[in-house]
């Protein structure tokens, strides 16, 4: 086990590509470079609030025991072998080209190599301004930092590809935030998350180079990305092969989001990972009552571009933007067919995933009709998504009436069913039970498949809100309980959280809707 302070960090990215090494933190355009040096701005007092023992063990990293090591987690100490920088990238935001963006409040300290030879970037979020902060302060508040720390780890344990979170520290300094951009700014406690990933490269890292016609930099970044993160890809068409695999990984990620009911909230191209990871946790949410039009992001209203049911289509659109960025080095006639593979990959994996959620032995063309009926019925009656699929696992193999079906699912309902809704649900369940009777696997095997696919615990926004309020009061009981629960999302050990969203949380700020500042 190695310590944060004594580790000899690698710096392959900054030694490979041109960067602005001045250390100037003044917001500006930075043509010709892929990063800008950014020394974290010290804070008053770094206090360790949370630490992921499991992730640290994977990295071969010791938990900090001395204040100087804790100071690294808050940006108050940079070791000799680190090279802190902010990456330069661009992006399409809410469907429009936004030009240069970059890491406005994220600073990569260095690259940590494990004993097994794997390399991970260690990045501080909220450690002060960078050349890409524009009019912002580069800081993060406790509210948003708790959300990123817990959800990063929650998604990992759900089995969804994601960046990870190693630590959460408070800074001892207040940060001014206008939570809903409505002129009601207030001071909140500051905090910093150290997040970890093999790479934080986004679609936008490639878009910026194409937009600036920096073809050599674009070609070098693509080749470096392939050699480092896709070493199995070789040959004359390796760039095209790489893009095709990015398409496949992105489609797979969307299927996983839909499986657990996760809504990202800000699917801009600068928030899309070329490794197929969930990246940048802001105004996210899990779906409570099933609604394809649900978006947790106030900035996404009224158009709901990034709503739950639209995420797969937006991913395809974003991949089109990445394809456009690659046009200087790959022929359009080759890129378009590769992009179009998204639809086949997504739907194949989606129907297989839904078959697993329903406990089917295999998915036939006939089953896709049943899956569509599930989607339409759930949209009509809006049960709690997580609880509905849990209750489906223990559905009796015979139900004789609409009332019997309604009673079985009543704990997942936010409102009593109308007669026509009861009939819809009864017809669905009747068709489903008929299909289960044709399964070639046993009932217990079917239920086991469902238990592995359908989470029982999800990190709901109202739980996060309660934990944040407690932490702001100096209490951490719920925060610690959630840290344990998120590690076992498919078990019933934490059934105290197995309930629908309470009524008070439906309209409360931070529980139902959030902003990009979240």
270 is catalytic: yes
Task: Give the helix/strand (H/E) hosting 441.
Answer: none
Alpha-carbon distances of 451 from 157, 287, 348, 432, 480, rounded to whole Å: 14, 19, 21, 17, 25
- The alpha carbons of the chain give a radius of gyration, in whole angstroms, of 24
60 vs 202: CA distance, rounded Å: 27
Structure-token pair, residue 358: 């329903």
Least Cα distance to 312 among 260, 267, 274, 358 occurs for 267
Pairing of strands 285-286, 35-37: unpaired
Pairing of strands 119-125, 262-263: unpaired
14 vs 12: CA distance, rounded Å: 6
Orientation angle between helical segments 461-472 and 142-158, nearest 10 degrees: 140
208 vs 462: CA distance, rounded Å: 37
Q: Which residues of 146-164 are buried (b: 16+ CB within 10 A; e: fewer)?
A: bbbbbbbbbbbbbebbbbb
Percentages (nearest 5) of helix, strand, coil residues in the chain: 45, 15, 40
- Count of helices and strands (H, E) across the chain: 16, 11
Long-range contacts of 331-334, Cβ-Cβ distance < 8 Å, separation of 24 or more: 334/237, 334/240
32 vs 12: CA distance, rounded Å: 18
DSSP 237-266: THHHHHHHHHHHHHHHHHHHHHHHTEE-S-
Bridge partners, 84 (sequence order): none
Contact 377, 424 (CB under 8 A): yes
Structure-token pair, residue 313: 């289509």
Sign, CA dihedral 228-233-234-236, equals negative
From the candidates 20, 71, 103, 270, give the one annotated as an active-site residue. 270
Residues taking part in catalysis = 270
């Amino acid at each position: 086990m190695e310590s944060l302070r004594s580790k000899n960090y690698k710096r392959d990215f900054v030694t490979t590509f041109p960067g602005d090494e001045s250390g100037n933190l003044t917001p500006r355009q930075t043509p010709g470079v892929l990063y800008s040096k950014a020394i974290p701005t010290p804070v008053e007092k770094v206090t360790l609030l949370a630490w992921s023992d499991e992730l640290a063990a994977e990295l071969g990293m010791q938990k900090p025991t001395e204040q100087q090591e804790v100071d690294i987690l808050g940006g108050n100490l940079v070791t000799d072998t680190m090279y802190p920088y902010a990456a330069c990238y661009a992006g399409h935001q809410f469907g429009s080209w936004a030009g240069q963006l970059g890491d406005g409040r994220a600073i990569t300290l260095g690259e940590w190599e494990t004993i097994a030879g794997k390399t991970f970037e260690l990045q501080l979020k909220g450690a002060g301004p960078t050349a890409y902060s524009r009019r912002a302060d580069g800081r993060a508040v406790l509210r948003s930092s708790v959300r990123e720390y817990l959800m990063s780890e929650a998604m990992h344990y759900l089995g969804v590809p994601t960046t990870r979170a190693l630590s959460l520290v408070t800074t001892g300094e207040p940060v001014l935030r206008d939570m809903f951009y409505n002129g009601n700014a207030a001071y909140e406690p500051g905090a910093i998350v150290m997040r970890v990933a093999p790479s934080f490269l986004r679609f936008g890292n490639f878009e910026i180079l194409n937009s600036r016609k920096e073809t050599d930099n674009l070609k070098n970044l693509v080749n470096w990305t392939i050699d480092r993160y896709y070493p199995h890809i070789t040959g004359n068409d390796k760039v095209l092969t790489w893009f095709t695999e990015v398409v496949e990984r992105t489609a797979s990620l969307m299927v996983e989001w839909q499986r657990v009911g996760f809504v990202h909230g800000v699917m801009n191209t600068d928030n899309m990972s070329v490794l197929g990871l969930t990246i940048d946790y802001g105004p996210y949410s899990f779906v409570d009552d099933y609604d394809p039009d649900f978006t947790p992001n106030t900035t996404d209203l009224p158009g709901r571009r990034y709503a739950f049911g639209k995420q797969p289509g937006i991913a395809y659109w974003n991949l089109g933007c990445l394809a456009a960025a690659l046009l200087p080095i790959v022929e359009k006639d080759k890129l378009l067919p590769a992009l179009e593979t998204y639809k086949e990959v997504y739907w194949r994996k989606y129907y297989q995933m839904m078959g697993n959620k329903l406990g089917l032995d295999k998915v036939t063309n006939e089953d896709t009709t049943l899956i569509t009926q599930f989607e339409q019925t759930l949209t009509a009656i809006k049960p709690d998504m997580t609880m509905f699929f849990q209750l489906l696992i223990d559905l009796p193999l015979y139900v004789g009436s609409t009332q019997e079906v309604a009673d079985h699912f009543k704990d997942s309902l936010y409102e009593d069913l109308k007669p026509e809704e009861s009939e819809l649900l009864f017809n669905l369940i009747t068709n489903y039970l008929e299909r289960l009777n044709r399964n070639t696997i046993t009932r217990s095997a079917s239920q086991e498949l469902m238990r592995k696919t359908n989470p029982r615990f999800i990190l709901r926004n109202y739980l996060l809100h309660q934990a944040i309020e407690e932490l702001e009061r100096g209490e951490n009981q719920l925060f610690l309980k959630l840290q344990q629960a998120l590690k076992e999302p498919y078990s019933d050990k934490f059934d105290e959280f197995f309930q629908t969203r309470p009524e008070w949380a439906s309209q409360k700020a931070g529980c139902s809707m959030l902003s990009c500042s979240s």
